[in-house]
Amino acid sequence: MATGDLELVLDARALIGEGAIWNTALQRLHWIDIHGQCVFTYDPATGANRAYDVGQMIGTVVPRARGGLMLTLHEGFAGFDPDTGRVTLLPRPPEHDPAVVRFNDGKCDPSGRFWAGTMALAKGPKPLGKVYRLDADGSIHVMFREAGTSNGIAWSLDRRILYYIDTPLVRVDAFDYDDATGAIAGRRTVITIPPGMGRPDGSTMDAEGMLWVAMWDGGRVTRWNPRTGALLQTVRLPVTRVTSCAFGGPDLDTLYITSARNGLTEKQLAAQPLAGGLFKIRPGVCGVPAPAYQG
């Protein structure tokens, strides 16, 4: 498969563009602006990018099997109906204190449970985030604690490994994952990010079992072999704060990439005017469909 050039899809100027995910049922891309408090639905067929204000900080978006979307918001998990704009917040997750932490990135596992983590609102010495699992029956479980900035979550093609990124650790960890029960065990580091590449943020799996990782303050998306830890491919962007990536399009051969402008100085913004934009590239490999929430 041929590799294409990087293209700007939308000069969106998002504060923190994030959460790219392809909705296979709708053939559209969902993404979010965390500080802009918006979820977007982009239709490549028309170029339309519909924005929905969700009224509080948003951490991620996933499709819902019954229709509509699921979100993480500052306060917890929520359902979202794009037809009415209605946000339905689920009961507060156990141990979740919105005065101290907010929800951030998350994705559904191969069986359609919705995993997402939290992060502290203010910098501090202790990692106060947690990773939660929302099951199809609506129950919410704390899966582990002491996350710093909980970010990318992805699963191996054989459904036996969960790959996890806690950004400040500058690495990718793996857990043994039981798809029948959603249990995880045996945390270990599988990818160590060398200095000078930025910090790992969102991630996605490709059809060859390789992991794509967006690099915050790294100006790139990187492709890794999670079995060997080897760096395989680098896609450079004209912006430094690269936040998430997801394969989309009818053949899942287009990698959509989000970025942020939040926290950049005027001088930095002048040097990277497309910061906050949505980009795409055909990187020469296909993705796999993102599971929808089954509840």
* Minimal distance, residue 151 CB to Ca ion, in Å: 5
In angstroms and rounded to an integer, the radius of gyration of the C-alpha atoms of the chain is 17
Nearer of residues 116 and 253 to Ca ion, judged by Cβ? 116
Contact range with Ca ion by CB under 5 A, out of 1-9, 22-30, 66-74, 98-106: 98-106
DSSP 265: -
CB 1 within 8 A of CB 282: yes
Please say which residue, 199 or 282, places its beta carbon nearer to Ca ion: 199
Candidate ranges 70-78, 106-114, 194-202, 228-236; the one touching Ca ion (CB under 5 A): 194-202
Q: How far is the CB of 119 from Ca ion (least distance, A)?
A: 9
Stretch of residues binding Ca ion (CB under 5 A), selected from 99-107, 139-147, 187-195, 234-242: 99-107
Contacts of 136 (CB under 8 A, 6+ apart): 112, 113, 293, 294, 295
Compute the least distance from the CB of residue 177 to Ca ion, in Å.
21
Shortest CB 105 distance to Ca ion, Å: 4
Active site residue 173: no
Binding status of residue 166 toward Ca ion by CB under 5 A: no
Q: Residue 3 CB, nearest distance to Ca ion (Å)?
A: 25
Residue number, 151 or 272, with CB nearest to Ca ion: 151
72 part of the interface to Ca ion, by CB under 5 A: no
Rounded to the nearest angstrom, the gap between the alpha carbon of residue 77 and the centroid of all alpha carbons in its chain is 15
Site size with Ca ion, rule: CB under 5 A: 3
Any contact of residue 201 with Ca ion (CB under 5 A)?
Answer: yes
Whichever of 105 and 109 has its CB closer to Ca ion, that residue is 105
Binding residue for Ca ion (CB under 5 A) from 21, 72, 105, 255?
105
Cα 222 to Cα 214: distance, rounded to the nearest angstrom? 6
> CA separation (Å) from 93 to 102, 121, 132, 134, 151?
11, 17, 8, 9, 18
Nearest-approach distance from CB 242 to Ca ion, in angstroms: 10
Query: Two tokens at 173?
Result: 């960890």
* Catalytic entry in 201, 206, 251, 253: 201
The strand pairing partners of 205, in sequence order, are 211
Give the tokens for residue 197.
């590449």
d(Cα 243, Cα 218) in Å, to the nearest integer?
10
Token pair for 90:
């689920």
> CB under 5 A: which stretch of 105-113, 116-124, 182-190, 274-282 binds Ca ion?
105-113
Distance between CA 266 and CA 264 in Å, rounded?
A: 7
**Cβ distance 223 to 215 under 8 Å?**
no
Cα-Cα-Cα-Cα torsion 71, 119, 203, 262, nearest 10 degrees, comes to 90
Residue 151 in the binding site for Ca ion (CB under 5 A) = yes
Contact residues: Ca ion, CB under 5 A: 105, 151, 201
Active site positions, annotated: 201
